[in-house]
């Protein structure tokens, strides 16, 4: 088959990889370079963790995603998965239930009590009434490296074309036809659209109006030299157990410490700039001032705002048929990076008219969207 993949973020690139592995001819087209620094996928890192409290299917899917990421490292002959584990701070009963959920799904995890947390992570001021789940098959995906590895691998494949700096303006799903802004038309036997937060601009109005745009602020920090060793042994923390939903990514593999919170994620009307307003930076600084002993302005290296879309009905991601052999990942949600290999396989299966692999992410709507990743 000749397949056109619109977008050059993690979902589109991994879908192109799946089509290529299946022996199809693939054209990937992006409005910017591939990878593109304004894409939601383009960042130092993303958390991969399996625990989705009270959600066995998502937990099991995340464990499968973990294994697929390891296979992808081998395929691309690149390392981009720092397996530093993930720490989710929860009330004691929820932590215990979380460990049971994870181990029942085949993962490796244990509970850390409040005293153990204080002992192991003195650089985190956690609520002394909370325990945590420490999971092993989890950590940090070096997102920019993932994109570079996918794009690099695809460039070497004889049946793949990457078309850069060429916005797509229309998709005719029934005909498998993709129209570019410069008038060129790409005809194919199948189409996947995965344009991240830009989807509302490209998809039909009936779909676009069901999508909600979110904007989230991030602080990038350096840690004091005296605490560097402690931070090097810190897992990704998708939930610090605070009311405002704070979470962080430790400074692994030469990256910065990244701080954010559900409280600085809000709805917005349009995708504009990526500059974090000063009041949001202050908000995050105040929030983390209570959580990281010694935290102050000298830690802050920079900030950035990122966007994602969610499906209004569920608050989660959304896959839609565009008619004929065309499918779109219409809403990427706030937690799709880790699931991207499974999402890619499912999108490829849909276009190829296959029954989605039951070990993949067959029920895309089951992918949860939380405030945390
Ligand atoms: C602040 C923040 C933190 C997050 N943290 C995590 C995390 O820790 N773990 C996790 O699993 N997930 C996380 N996510 C979610 C995850 O990053 C996204 O779900 C994922 O990166 C989306 O990838 P994508 O390929 O769908 O979109 P994108 O990466 O945005 O890619 C879309 C691509 O489409 C291209 N495009 C757009 N319009 C057109 C057009 N008309 N023509 C051609 N090309 C076009 C763009 O240029 C871009 O390259 C986070 C999201 C945010 C915002």
| Residue 361: inside a domain | yes
Could you report the per-residue pLDDT of 136-155, keeping only the tens digit for each?
Answer: 999 999 999 999 999 999 99
Name the strand (E) or helix (H) holding 205.
helix 205-208
Per cent of the chain over pLDDT 70 is 95
Could you report the per-residue pLDDT of 39-85, keeping only the tens digit for each?
Answer: 999 999 999 999 999 989 889 999 999 999 999 999 999 999 999 99
SS3 (DSSP) at 282? helix
Query: Average pLDDT, stretch 199-221?
Result: 95
Is any ligand 1 atom within 6 A of the Cβ of residue 341? no
Is any ligand 1 atom within 6 A of the Cβ of residue 178? no
| Residue 371: inside a domain | no
Straight-line distance from the first to the last Cα atom of the chain, in angstroms, rounded to the nearest whole number? 35
Per cent of the chain over pLDDT 90 is 87
Q: How confident is the model at residue 314 (pLDDT cuts 50, 70, 90)?
A: confident
Q: How confident is the model at residue 358 (pLDDT cuts 50, 70, 90)?
A: low
pLDDT at 252 over 80: yes
Question: Per the structure block, which two tokens stand in for 303?
Answer: 């900030």
How many domains does one find in the chain?
A: 1
pLDDT at 332 over 90: no
pLDDT at 194 over 60: yes
Q: Is 330 left (phi over 0), alpha (psi -120 to 50) or beta?
A: alpha
Longest dimension (CA), the chain: 64
Is any ligand 1 atom within 6 A of the Cβ of residue 308? yes
Atom of ligand 1 nearest to the CA of 195: 34
| Residue 373: inside a domain | no
- Cα four-point dihedral sign 88, 92, 96, 98: negative
Is any ligand 1 atom within 6 A of the Cβ of residue 236? no
Residue 166, pLDDT score: 98
pLDDT at 170 over 70: yes
Query: Average pLDDT, stretch 210-215?
Result: 96
Is any ligand 1 atom within 6 A of the Cβ of residue 162? no
Residue 359, pLDDT score: 53
Is any ligand 1 atom within 6 A of the Cβ of residue 33? no
Is any ligand 1 atom within 6 A of the Cβ of residue 7? yes
| Residue 372: inside a domain | no
Q: How far is the CA of 34 from the centre of ligand 1 (A)?
A: 13
Q: How confident is the model at residue 316 (pLDDT cuts 50, 70, 90)?
A: confident
Atom of ligand 1 nearest to the CA of 8: 49
Q: Residue 173: CB partners within 8 Å, gap ≥ 6?
A: 191, 321, 322, 323, 324, 325, 326
Is any ligand 1 atom within 6 A of the Cβ of residue 251? no
Atom of ligand 1 nearest to the CA of 11: 25
| Residue 37: inside a domain | yes
Q: Are strands 109-112 and 25-29 parallel, antiparallel or unpaired?
A: unpaired
Are 329 and 321 in contact by the 8 Å Cβ rule? The answer is no
- Ligand 1 pocket, mutate which of 34, 250, 373 (most atoms under 8 A from CB): 373
- Ligand 1 pocket, mutate which of 146, 259, 337 (most atoms under 8 A from CB): 337
| Residue 116: inside a domain | yes
Between CA 44 and CA 143 the distance in angstroms is 6
SS3 (DSSP) at 265? strand
Between CA 85 and CA 47 the distance in angstroms is 9
Residue of 166, 152, 178 lying closest to 2 (CA atoms):
178
Q: How far is the CA of 340 from the centre of ligand 1 (A)?
A: 10
Are 239 and 233 in contact by the 8 Å Cβ rule? The answer is no
Query: Average pLDDT, stretch 243-264?
Result: 97
Is any ligand 1 atom within 6 A of the Cβ of residue 217? no
Between CA 69 and CA 57 the distance in angstroms is 18
What CATH number does residue 250 fall under?
A: 3.30.9.10
pLDDT at 20 over 70: yes
Q: How confident is the model at residue 369 (pLDDT cuts 50, 70, 90)?
A: very low
Could you report the per-residue pLDDT of 217-229, keeping only the tens digit for each?
Answer: 999 999 999 999 9
HSE-CB of 294 using CA atoms within 13 angstroms = 11
Between CA 195 and CA 31 the distance in angstroms is 9
Atom of ligand 1 nearest to the CA of 169: 41
By alpha-carbon position, which residue is closest to atom 44 of ligand 1? 30
Q: How far is the CA of 41 from the centre of ligand 1 (A)?
A: 4
Between CA 287 and CA 143 the distance in angstroms is 26
Between CA 359 and CA 373 the distance in angstroms is 22
Torsion of CA 218, 223, 228, 231, to 10 degrees: -30
pLDDT at 7 over 60: yes
Contacts 24+ apart (CB under 8 A), 68-73: 68/341, 68/342, 69/141, 69/338, 69/341, 72/14, 72/17, 72/149, 72/341
Domain span at residue 86 reads: 2-366
Is any ligand 1 atom within 6 A of the Cβ of residue 373? yes
pLDDT at 372 over 70: no
Query: Average pLDDT, stretch 193-206?
Result: 95
Q: How far is the CA of 79 from the centre of ligand 1 (A)?
A: 21
């Amino acid at each position: 088959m000749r397949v056109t993949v619109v977008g050059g973020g993690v979902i589109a690139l991994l879908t192109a990889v799946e089509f290529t592995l299946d022996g199809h001819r693939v054209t990937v087209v992006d409005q910017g370079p591939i990878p593109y620094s304004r894409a939601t996928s383009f960042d130092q890192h993303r958390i991969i963790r399996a625990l989705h409290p009270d959600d066995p299917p998502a937990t099991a899917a995340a464990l499968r995603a973990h294994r697929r990421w390891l296979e992808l490292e081998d395929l691309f002959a690149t390392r981009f998965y720092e397996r530093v584990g993930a720490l989710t701070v929860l009330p004691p009963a929820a932590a215990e239930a979380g460990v049971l959920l994870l181990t029942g799904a085949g993962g490796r995890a244990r509970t850390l009590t409040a005293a153990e947390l204080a002992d192991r992570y003195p650089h985190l001021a956690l609520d002394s009434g909370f325990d945590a789940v420490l999971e092993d098959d989890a950590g940090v995906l070096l997102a920019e490296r993932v994109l570079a590895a996918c794009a690099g691998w695809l460039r070497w494949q004889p049946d793949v074309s990457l078309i850069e700096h060429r916005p797509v303006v229309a998709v005719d799903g029934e005909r498998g036809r993709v129209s570019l802004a410069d008038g060129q038309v790409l005809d194919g036997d199948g189409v996947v659209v995965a344009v991240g937060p830009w989807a509302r601009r490209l998809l039909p109005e009936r779909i676009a109006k069901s999508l909600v745009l979110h904007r989230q602020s991030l602080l990038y920090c350096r840690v004091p030299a005296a605490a560097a060793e402690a931070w090097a042994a810190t897992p990704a923390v998708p939930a610090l157990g605070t009311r405002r939903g704070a979470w962080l990514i430790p400074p692994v593999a030469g990256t910065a410490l990244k701080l954010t919170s559900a409280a600085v994620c809000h709805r917005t009307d349009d995708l504009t700039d990526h500059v974090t307003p000063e009041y949001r930076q202050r908000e995050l600084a105040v929030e983390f001032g209570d959580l990281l002993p010694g935290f102050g302005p000298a830690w802050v290296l920079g900030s950035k705002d990122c966007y994602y879309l969610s499906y209004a009905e569920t608050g989660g991601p959304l896959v839609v048929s565009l008619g004929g052999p065309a499918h779109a990942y219409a809403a990427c949600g706030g937690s799709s990076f880790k699931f991207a290999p499974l999402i890619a396989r499912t999108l490829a299966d849909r276009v190829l008219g296959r029954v989605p692999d039951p070990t993949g992410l067959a029920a895309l709507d089951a992918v949860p969207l939380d405030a945390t990743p």
